[in-house]
Copies of this chain bind each other. A is one copy, B any other.
Amino acid sequence: MSTESNLRQAIIDSATELFMKQGYTATSIKQIANAAGCKTSSMYYYFEGGKSDILGAVIQSLSFDMKHVFDDREFETLSDFLHYYAEIVSEIMPRMNRRISWLAPEFRKLSEKELAHIQNQFLDMHDSFEQRFKALMSDDAAANELAWIVTCAYLGYGNIFFTIQMRNREDYSLTDFGHSLARFLGASNA
């Protein structure tokens, strides 16, 4: 079917998995080669720039697909949407967070293009909220602000409870968090 290289994709997939587990610096090209089923020298055929070229390819392959999740749904109130979103995001975010948390210490090394690619994932999340909120609130500026609050709140939850692995207090699930948010912010629409 496809004439695209299997090995190239195998390298990207293996590298993605290893970077998520160990971080970029802690992962050696030998580990990537082993996981991809080839020798380190073979990787230089597809990635002339070596390890950093692989990093670039991995970043370009990251995509979160936030928007399409509720493109076909309509909501009557802000509260309805936020409660519905609380359920949806509980499924999506753990994976999303796992995919990018290892990147934080590497930002200094990234090219403009790679950095912009990651940033756009966050902007997409904000814009996805903003578009919804504008349909449910009369004040466009307020919809923009609220979209930032919700984005920051959810990504902060991800930061604390996934990245930091904070589990030693009574459980406070992502779903619980979402519904709390809906309750407090939903009132602002009235």
Contact = CB atoms under 8 A, between A and B. Distances in A.
A174 to B, nearest CB: 10
A105 B159 CA distance: 12
A152 B118 CA distance: 21
Interface of A: 22-23, 25-26, 101-102, 104-105, 107, 115-116, 118-119, 122-123, 145-146, 148-149, 151-160, 163-166, 168-169, 172, 177, 180-181, 183-185, 187-188
B180 A149 contact: yes
Given A145-B184, A180-B145, A188-B187, A164 B102 contact: no
A157 B152 contact: yes
Contacts of A122: 160, 164, 166
Nearest to A145: B180
B104 A163 contact: yes
Given A25-B25, A153-B156, A165 B101 contact: no
Contacts of A166: 119, 122-123
Contact of A148 (B115, B165, B180): B180
Contacts of A185: 184-185
Given A123-B169, A145-B180, A107 B152 contact: no
